Structure 1
Amino acid sequence: MTDVAPLTGPGRRPAGPRRGPARKATRVVLVAGLTLALAAGIGYAAELGPFDPGPAKPDAEATRQARAFLADWEAGRMSRAAALTLRPEQAERVLNSFTAGLDISEPDLTPGAAKTGEDGTVTVSFTAKMPVTGLGTWTYASALPLRKQDDGAWKVEWALSLVHPKLSGTEKFRLEREDTAGPGITDRDGNALSSRKHPSLGPLLPQIAGGGGSGPRGAVRLVDRATGKVKGTEASFGKKSGRPADRPVATTLDATWQSAAEKALAAEADGKDAALVALRIDDGEILAVANSPSSGFNRAVSGTYAPGSTWKIVTTSALLLKDAVAPDDVVDCPKYLTVGKRFQNVETSEHRGATFRKDFTTSCNTAFISLRDKVGDQELGDVAGKYFGVGQKWGVGIPSYDGSVPTPRDQTEKAASMIGQGRVQANPLIMASVTATAVSGTFHQPSLTGDSEDTTTTSPLPREVVTQLRELMRTTVTDGTASVLADLPGDVGAKTGTAEVSDDVPNNGWFVAYRGNVAVACVVEKGVTGGASAGPVVRSLLDAVPDDPS
């Protein structure tokens, strides 16, 4: 039986569903379907497919594993790095031989972008910065392939090419060093110098051979594993010096003095950072340059230190040049003197009613500071430059720091400058030269190669000033703070120095001396006092080499 709708009125159709809304809904569905179809068509036109999400995002665990591998390799944990690969034994062997064979220390491995391949392999790029000891840094790019294992773990898919893209079963790398510091470098008597016999010369000899700073040279070569034939150069270090390879480079150094200087530092510097320079007084030729430790920074020639009371040689010269004081004048030496800040003597010593001679030989800070008004604000720097060459450009033969004596900014800084503190800067090379100039009267630019260009301009010290300086330094040995040299034979003079560094760091110890035709300067960092720390080093040197070089 079929239900029939009742009539609603004469001549009317039976009642039924309302058609207006139904037709509207139908139109919406049709439009939506058409939109999806059009979108799908556009997708297919772009060859993406209607539901393609784009490139797969690399698995986070794969990226983490790659970073762990690079971190272990970078830290030298080769066995741990190798364990993250599919071939751990081969990986460990190659990683060890690569870094050791190419003399690489402390590599820097920086991970980059990661991407997923069609086969599911994740590749993580990285940049390698490989410091080749003594030469420079070799930088290149490579990548790590990683594959997911059946147990869900990610492993580095080991291949020689991940270490370097050109490393393979047929090609490897070889480090070649150019020996610039062997028998091609000689001392003043033609004796061969080497870093093996004289460790302190290790950083200097390549500079000398390169004409002043070219540095060591070498290269990383790509070679055939079977024949050893060079197929390419991956990295080059240093530059050619321009000197014929078969022409020895002569220096002013003396092998005997150099050996004695290094032994003196090793025996007497108590393991502290220290440096020493010995040079000829009559011509400035450098006989020995020694540093402790022997490798690394050349403190002796390039260091920047407050010279402390050894600088009183220059201060005394400035005072004597203008007759501002005489050795027998009374210049009181109190424990303390305040000039903006409180200055004191070492161990707060005092010598009431002392002569200037006593002030010099006992290294009295307060007495020297009390004379600050006797010299102009710029006068100390002017004397240092005009008579001692300090602050002028020196052509030593290797890079050097040549000193600085700025004009004091206030009276406190001027007081400090009088005793080699404040902004006064020097090093053992400078102070050995200052000593040589003081006792000879004439500045000679220090030289390590004998053919260095001298562009300095100086004036000689008056003879009476030189005589007084020599007498004051001699008395410092016989009756003052440099008594550590008192029993050495001959005319030996010296000056001690103690230089403040900061409130929480021990003072640096300084000692300068002359004997015959040789001037010596030594600094011992954190040595506390010059007489107790640097003095024994200088004594050891002079005692070991009793004769001056010809």
Structure 2
Amino acid sequence: MRSGAKVGIVGGVFVVVAGGVAYGGYNLWNGITGGSQDVGTRSAPRSGPVTAEEVTATARDFLAAWAAGEPERAGQLTDDPVTAGPAIAAYREGGGVSEAVITAGTPTGTTVPFTVRATVTYDGVSKPWTYESRLGVVRGASTGRPLVKWTPTVLHPKLTAGATLRTGTAKAPAVKAVDHKGVALPPEKYPSLVPVLDALRQRYGAKAGGEAGVETWIEGANGMPVGTLLVLSPGKPGELRTTIDAGVQAAAEKAVKRFPKAAVAAVEPSTGAVRAVANNPASGFNTAFQGMQAPGSTMKIVTAAMMMRYGVARPGSAVECPPDVRWEERTFENLGRFATAGDLTNAFAMSCNTAFIKAITPLKDKGVHNTALGDTARKWFGIGEVWSVGVQTTPTDGSVPESAGSETAASYIGQGRITMNALNMASVSATVRDGRFRQPYLIPQDVDGREFATAEPLPGAIADGLRTMMRAAATSSVGTAREAMAGVPGPKGAKTGSAEVADQDANSWFTGYSGDLAAAAVVEAGGHGADAAGPVVADVLKAR
């Protein structure tokens, strides 16, 4: 403890005054009272789960040391003092936290929730800041001591490894985002846009004509802001026009809230303009743009294009659809082991796995069965290219790697190592609707002159064939997308999908188009595509 420290009680909370700056804690660490154990009387290290008393005492000591402005002492009470001590020091110094009172809640097992009520001060301006976090207590592997399990989220729930707290003049002015018609997009009305707008601000804020204010933010390991936590002085926001459509965005926000984990994206086929992006949870990771998940049978759109490209089958070609098929020592089945007869359009509408896997044999004869799907995805759909959307997406937008063995069969039905997200699959439907790939974008290209990804137009017969099959899936009596698309106006087309994931129900996928709008959604553990993701996409398409 620094010399001159004074102890008092404010509102039932102990306060330590050190160096003229007040930090609060709900109790005092045992260094003030001389500790609880004398040298020479220490017993052997304890083992086993931490006790309730140890959880309470360890949390008490750590929070009090943090509140007292003693980062080294607080760090020593964690299982990673080398990382924790400097992080706690940076919280106070870099974040400009001039006062803090920490109040603990009731422990649950080894977890202790707490509330931080702080004051942030910079250049003579102060503002209160309140948030909640939690810590966990574990037993030290070598010492047996109860210790706080260190993670950056202890200091703030949005902190990540390598990130730190900063207060000062913002690196970029705030932006007031508007949709493509000039309608304002306030974050309180469109919560899914918060991480998107934060990213747009860092990239385009200086171009939007605003003036930076004073803020507290999280600075990532790369030195770039990743989220504003507190605004001390607002500055002057600049206006930034996006391609979002406020009406479609509102429908997307509402639709994803039906499920604990869901994402949807909507794209205008004639231009590539992104008209909506929504996630639940709304804050944090942008699953719709950055997710990397197997897309299930929605991938059959690309597989069907591949089959037509290589002359394996066309929409009216008779195909086999047995209940199961074997390839490279692995058996693949249709849902419920159904079987049917008919043409490729019927197999597509019913989402017959085996009909599409059987395409391997003729493609193997051509020597392209392991590469044809990825080549087709890139050639006509822009999948695997880098899309300059305006905000971060995935390293490559969609991934259809070369496959081998049974993995090739799995890839033809959207499993294996194929990864997509809602934006990628919305673009696939948009490409079918328009007949050519137009790279999705959130900020017009002329704002910064960035280069867009390109792909070859779909040959006319293949585009027509894909539209025929997607229309059958959305409208025919056997179409798996018919019920979800029933109220969606035409011209329309769709494809359902479900993707198997270890240790949980299948992810629900759905993609489709109506008029000049295409959309795709994924619902984690949602099951069949028509059951969960289908209604999400339908509601978005109806909003146009």
TM-score range, shorter chain: 0.5 to 0.7
Q: Is the 8 A contact 1:135 1:238 kept in 2?
A: no
Give the AA of the match of 2:430. A
Which position in structure 2 is the counterpart of 1:499?
499
Which position in structure 1 is the counterpart of 2:338?
349
Superposed displacement of residue 490, structure 1: 2.1
Q: TM-score if structure 1 supplies the norm length?
A: 0.66
Superposed displacement of residue 457, structure 1: 3.5
Give the AA of the match of 1:380. L
For residues 345-368 of structure 1, give each alpha carbon's deviation from its aligned partner in whole angstroms, at most 9, with x where no partner exists: 1122211x3211111000000110
Which position in structure 1 is the counterpart of 2:201?
209
- CA–CA distance in 2 between the matches of 1:436 and 1:378? 24
Q: In the TM superposition, what are the counterparts of 1:271-350 in structure 2 within 5 Å?
A: 271-339=259-327, 340-350=329-339
- CA–CA distance in 1 between the matches of 2:420 and 2:428? 10
- CA–CA distance in 2 between the matches of 1:109 and 1:220? 26
Matched, 1:456 2:453: yes
Q: TM-score if structure 2 supplies the norm length?
A: 0.66
- CA–CA distance in 1 between the matches of 2:458 and 2:355? 24
Q: Which structure features the higher share of strand residues? A: 2
Q: Is the 8 A contact 2:198 2:227 kept in 1?
A: no
Q: Is the 8 A contact 2:180 2:245 kept in 1?
A: yes
Which position in structure 2 is the counterpart of 1:248?
239
Which position in structure 1 is the counterpart of 2:155?
131
Over 4 Å off, 4+ runs? 62-70, 73-79, 90-96, 107-110, 127-130, 132-140, 174-183, 216-221
- CA–CA distance in 1 between the matches of 2:285 and 2:460? 38
For residues 275-307 of structure 1, give each alpha carbon's deviation from its aligned partner in whole angstroms, at most 9, with x where no partner exists: 000010011110000001112211100001101
Give the AA of the match of 1:474. R
- CA–CA distance in 2 between the matches of 1:108 and 1:413? 42
Q: Is the 8 A contact 2:173 2:213 kept in 1?
A: no
Give the AA of the match of 2:480. T
Q: Is the 8 A contact 2:116 2:130 kept in 1?
A: no
Superposed displacement of residue 506, structure 1: 0.7
Which position in structure 2 is the counterpart of 1:21?
none
Q: Is the 8 A contact 1:181 1:194 kept in 2?
A: no
Which position in structure 2 is the counterpart of 1:257?
248
Give the AA of the match of 1:432. A
- CA–CA distance in 2 between the matches of 1:471 and 1:105? 53
Give the AA of the match of 1:434. V
Cα–Cα, structure 1 residues 139 and 332, in superposed 2: closer, same or farther, change >3 Å? closer
Superposed displacement of residue 189, structure 1: 1.3
Which position in structure 1 is the counterpart of 2:419?
425
Cα–Cα, structure 1 residues 355 and 297, in superposed 2: closer, same or farther, change >3 Å? same
- CA–CA distance in 2 between the matches of 1:382 and 1:332? 25
Q: Is the 8 A contact 1:99 1:105 kept in 2?
A: no
Deviates more, 1:90-99 or 1:475-484: 90-99
Superposed displacement of residue 323, structure 1: 2.1
- CA–CA distance in 2 between the matches of 1:180 and 1:396? 20
Give the AA of the match of 1:396. V
Which position in structure 1 is the counterpart of 2:225?
238
The secondary structure found in structure 2 opposite 1:189 is coil
Uncovered stretches (5+) of structure 2, i.e. residues with no partner: 1-33, 43-52, 68-99, 105-114, 121-127, 138-149, 207-211, 218-222, 229-234
Give the AA of the match of 1:384. A
Superposed displacement of residue 408, structure 1: 0.5
For residues 99-133 of structure 1, give each alpha carbon's deviation from its aligned partner in whole angstroms, at most 9, with x where no partner exists: 894445437799xxxxxxxxxxxxxxxx9967346
- CA–CA distance in 1 between the matches of 2:354 and 2:263? 28
Superposed displacement of residue 488, structure 1: 2.9
- CA–CA distance in 1 between the matches of 2:151 and 2:338? 59
Deviates more, 1:515-524 or 1:434-443: 434-443
Which position in structure 2 is the counterpart of 1:405?
400
Q: In the TM superposition, what are the counterparts of 1:475-490 in structure 2 within 5 Å?
A: 475-479=472-476, 480-484=479-483, 485-490=485-490
Which position in structure 1 is the counterpart of 2:511?
512
For residues 260-280 of structure 1, give each alpha carbon's deviation from its aligned partner in whole angstroms, at most 9, with x where no partner exists: 1111222xx4x3311000010
Q: Is the 8 A contact 1:385 1:392 kept in 2?
A: yes
Deviates more, 1:487-496 or 1:360-369: 487-496
Q: In the TM superposition, what are the counterparts of 1:130-209 in structure 2 within 5 Å?
A: 131-132=155-156, 184-209=176-201
- CA–CA distance in 1 between the matches of 2:61 and 2:298? 50
- CA–CA distance in 2 between the matches of 1:417 and 1:71? 50
Superposed displacement of residue 505, structure 1: 1.5
Q: Is the 8 A contact 1:345 1:366 kept in 2?
A: yes
Superposed displacement of residue 182, structure 1: 6.7
Superposed displacement of residue 385, structure 1: 0.8
Larger Rg over CA atoms: 1
Cα–Cα, structure 1 residues 324 and 251, in superposed 2: closer, same or farther, change >3 Å? same
Corresponding residue to 2:353 among 346, 365, 376? 365
- CA–CA distance in 1 between the matches of 2:131 and 2:227? 23
- CA–CA distance in 1 between the matches of 2:116 and 2:533? 44
The secondary structure found in structure 1 opposite 2:155 is strand
Q: Is the 8 A contact 2:316 2:345 kept in 1?
A: yes
- CA–CA distance in 1 between the matches of 2:263 and 2:187? 17
Aligned-pair identity in percent equals 36
- CA–CA distance in 1 between the matches of 2:515 and 2:334? 31
Deviates more, 1:67-76 or 1:252-261: 67-76
Which position in structure 2 is the counterpart of 1:388?
381
Which position in structure 1 is the counterpart of 2:436?
442
Give the AA of the match of 2:37. E
Cα–Cα, structure 1 residues 334 and 259, in superposed 2: closer, same or farther, change >3 Å? same
Q: Is the 8 A contact 1:492 1:513 kept in 2?
A: yes
Uncovered stretches (5+) of structure 1, i.e. residues with no partner: 1-57, 80-89, 111-126, 141-173, 222-235
The secondary structure found in structure 2 opposite 1:354 is strand
